Chain A
Amino acid sequence: MSSSQIPGGQPLLKVSGLKVYYHISQGVVKAVDDIDFTVNCGEFVGLSGESGCGKTTTAMTLLKILPREGVIEGGQALFNNRDILSLKKKEINAFRWQEISMVFQGAMNSLNPVHRVINQMINAILIHEKMPREKAKEIALELIESVGIERSRATAYPHELSGGMKQRLMIALALVLHPPLVIADEPTTALDVMIQAQILDLFKQLRQRTSLSLLIITHDLSVLAETCDKIIIMYAGKIVEEAPTEILFNEPAHPYTKKLISSFPSILADKEIDFIPGNPPDLIDPPAGCNFHPRCDYVIDRCRAESPPLVDEGGHRVACFRRNEI
């Protein structure tokens, strides 16, 4: 269940003017092109859009794990008033996992197959914090329990566990040092619906029990509908809309969001199958004006010439000249 009131926390992460370009032999790909957003303390934020919209690049930038071609061209990302992007290499190592940790898509395959899962967790704790091994073990066991896995399974090797259990363990591993922010990139995409439901339940419990902030990145809007306070929609490297979950689903104001929601199949009702004609733009040579205008039903001359700014009206941010007509 998503609640209508947003927890009134302080901004934990404040990204502004972020630009990340990939310099490849064919040219410069503007993967993330001037985006701003905040994640408040205790808030669950969803970041969605289609492949190539820049959502994963955003996550990789925040953890500074961009591939060599990816260059941060501008902007800042303030985390607790410290700019992540200007951290030195040494500082980053201490920063990752302790301040921000990440759960990747298919993370269950990143457990080391030759070590028992409990030892992997203990080691993760000991790398960052000085404490007796016994104490680290106790912390690890508690975490394993908190993600719904019996203590007795902690000594198992990864291959003895199912995909869902491994994914839950990865979430436990991400929480091991109690970071204030966890970034989850497609955390349930490779899983069956039953396991997905278990993971989403886990997120909801964490939200009730802790002050964790979570940035969930997924193309699956239905996952976000069930877990997030607010949702950010990206298209071709830019944020096109941001709104509290309920408003985004019930009163989408950007033509892209509207189409995306109506294209999404639902088991609840007979829905006409809808889709967005055409393909996402080439980010080396994006169209003039609004990136979405070649696929948009509401296009006017102005959209072809000018890129619409992201305008905030009472917490509902939309980048469209015709937002009030949609």
Chain B
Amino acid sequence: MAEGILETRNLKKWFTVRAGFLASLVSKKSDSYIRAVDGVDLEIKQGEIFAIAGESGCGKTTIARLIMRLETLTDGEIWFEGEKISVLNESKFKEYRRRIQMIFQDPYGSLSNNMTIGEIVAEPLKIHNVYTSLSEVEERVLAALEDVGLRPAEEFATRIPHELSGGQRQRVAVAAALVLDPVLLIADEPVSMLDVSMRGQILQLLLELRKKKGITLVLITHNLAVARQMADRIAIAYLGRVVETGVTKDIIDNPSHPYTKALVSVVPVPETGVQRERLLLTGEIPSPIDIPTGCRFHTRCPFAKDKCSVEEPELKEMPDGRQVACHE
């Protein structure tokens, strides 16, 4: 069994929605909260690819941003390599930020056109001040560009982002994350902006990095097909909580939470003549300001019982090792 590298315990992020001064005078309305992440426990193991999947608004991106400390925690703990990093002060945390890197969805927005590719990839080294000489910077930048397959690296280093295709830009983003030799890489929808033929290149690249450098990867995605291909284990999130987690293949081939079942059943497949039983949910995801009592999925669940509207189910371990948050 591989060792745990990152753990979150009861992770919570509530965003405050101010009632407004006048409204508070008139109606005694108080502030409300968007419970974007509402008690998430994850355990990510050394060297694995772990996917966090769900629809928009399920909190998957906020979880990633909390781990990177791009948002402040409302409650809970984050442990990384055996240390509780959620309580560290900013200067101490900077060391961890070097070891945990993130790549974002939009390779068109995340790279500055005022800088050359070489400068963009060198930037993290300068921010963290982890170089001894300029020639070392150059060496590491070129090595990172080589690693992500932008060859010849010398030539790419002098180019500007707008001269590159979307796939190449996303490679630059990966190179900028790799240049600090992170042990954990968080990829937030790394391929959803890319064309199908490019997606494979980036996914393949991420798989290679894991193989060659042993990097642990947290993959945030709404695309279950991508998760199925990439991830060893997966967590399905709904309204700020994990409803089911376990080995990806088990969960997607044989989902046990009603929400996972529904989600898997509606993913279209690029094949014809496949008969699948569909579980089409009606209605919309409730607002995270006004989360239903009991099980937060009970308002849309076709199997809901009386108990479900009262008592919130905890994640329970099943005989096959997966964890499911459902009373049934």
Binds A, one of B93-101, B176-184, B209-217, B222-230: B222-230
Flag if B197 contacts A259 (CB, 8 Å): yes
- Closest A-chain residue to B275, C-beta based? A1
Known contacts A250-B272, A273-B229: A279-B267 contact under CB 8 Å: no
A245 to B269, CA, bound (A): 13
Within 8 Å CB of A317, what residues of B?
A: none
Within 8 Å CB of B267, what residues of A?
A: 193, 222, 267
Within 8 Å CB of B196, what residues of A?
A: 50, 219, 221, 260, 263-264
A223 to B267, CA, bound (A): 9
Q: What interface size band does chain B fall in?
A: 35 or more
Within 8 Å CB of B207, what residues of A?
A: 273
Say whether A11 faces chain B, with CB atoms less than 8 Å apart. Answer: no
Within 8 Å CB of B167, what residues of A?
A: 279
A2 to B226, CA, bound (A): 24
Flag if A221 contacts B270 (CB, 8 Å): yes
Flag if B269 contacts A267 (CB, 8 Å): yes
- Closest B-chain residue to A260, C-beta based? B196
CB distance from A6 to the nearest CB of B (A): 14
Query: Which of B56, B195, B268, B273 interacts with A200 by CB under 8 Å?
Result: B268
Flag if A268 contacts B271 (CB, 8 Å): yes
Residues 225-263 of A, flagged 1 when their CB comes within 8 A of B and 0 if not, give 110000000000000000001100110000000011101
CB distance from A4 to the nearest CB of B (A): 9
Flag if A194 contacts B266 (CB, 8 Å): yes
Residues 170-206 of B, flagged 1 when their CB comes within 8 A of A and 0 if not, give 0000000000000000000000000111111101100
Say whether A112 faces chain B, with CB atoms less than 8 Å apart. Answer: no
Say whether B301 faces chain A, with CB atoms less than 8 Å apart. Answer: no
Within 8 Å CB of B273, what residues of A?
A: 246
CB distance from A297 to the nearest CB of B (A): 13
Within 8 Å CB of A164, what residues of B?
A: 284
Within 8 Å CB of A192, what residues of B?
A: 55-56, 222
Within 8 Å CB of B272, what residues of A?
A: 2, 225, 245-246, 249-250
Flag if B203 contacts A193 (CB, 8 Å): no
Known contacts A273-B229, A275-B200: A194-B271 contact under CB 8 Å: no
- Interface residue count for A (Cβ, 8 Å)? 43
Flag if A265 contacts B223 (CB, 8 Å): yes
Residues 221-239 of B, flagged 1 when their CB comes within 8 A of A and 0 if not, give 0111110111000000000
Within 8 Å CB of A50, what residues of B?
A: 195-197
Say whether A307 faces chain B, with CB atoms less than 8 Å apart. Answer: no
Known contacts A246-B272, A267-B224, A267-B264: A273-B204 contact under CB 8 Å: yes
Secondary structure of the B contact surface, majority rule: helix
Say whether B262 faces chain A, with CB atoms less than 8 Å apart. Answer: yes
Say whether B278 faces chain A, with CB atoms less than 8 Å apart. Answer: yes
CB distance from B285 to the nearest CB of A (A): 8
Say whether A16 faces chain B, with CB atoms less than 8 Å apart. Answer: no
Flag if B222 contacts A266 (CB, 8 Å): no
A200 to B266, CA, bound (A): 10
User: Of A165, A219, A264, A275, which is in contact with the most chain B CB atoms at under 10 Å from its CB?
Assistant: A275
- Closest B-chain residue to A265, C-beta based? B225
A165 to B282, CA, bound (A): 12
Known contacts A164-B284, A192-B55: A222-B226 contact under CB 8 Å: no
CB distance from B318 to the nearest CB of A (A): 21
Flag if B195 contacts A51 (CB, 8 Å): yes
Query: Which of A223, A267, A275 interacts with B228 by CB under 8 Å?
Result: A267
Residues 266-292 of A, flagged 1 when their CB comes within 8 A of B and 0 if not, give 111011011111011000000000000
Within 8 Å CB of A245, what residues of B?
A: 272
Flag if A263 contacts B229 (CB, 8 Å): no
Say whether A120 faces chain B, with CB atoms less than 8 Å apart. Answer: no
- Closest B-chain residue to A50, C-beta based? B195
**4 interchain residue pairs of minimum CB distance:** A275-B200, A276-B197, A265-B225, A197-B266
- A-B contacts besides A261-B270, A274-B200, 11 pairs, CB < 8 Å: A50-B196, A193-B55, A193-B222, A194-B266, A194-B280, A221-B270, A246-B273, A259-B197, A267-B252, A275-B204, A279-B165
A-B pairs with beta carbons under 8 Å apart, 30 shown: A50-B195, A164-B284, A193-B224, A193-B266, A194-B281, A196-B266, A197-B266, A200-B268, A219-B196, A222-B268, A222-B269, A225-B271, A261-B270, A263-B199, A265-B228, A265-B229, A266-B228, A266-B270, A266-B271, A267-B224, A267-B225, A267-B228, A267-B252, A268-B269, A273-B200, A273-B229, A275-B200, A275-B201, A279-B165, A280-B165
Q: Which B residues are within 8 Å of any A CB, using their own CB?
A: 55-56, 165-168, 195-201, 203-204, 207, 222-226, 228-230, 249, 252, 262-264, 266-274, 278, 280-281, 284
Q: Which A residues are within 8 Å of any B CB, using their own CB?
A: 2, 50-51, 162, 164-165, 192-194, 196-198, 200-201, 219-223, 225-226, 245-246, 249-250, 259-261, 263-268, 270-271, 273-277, 279-280
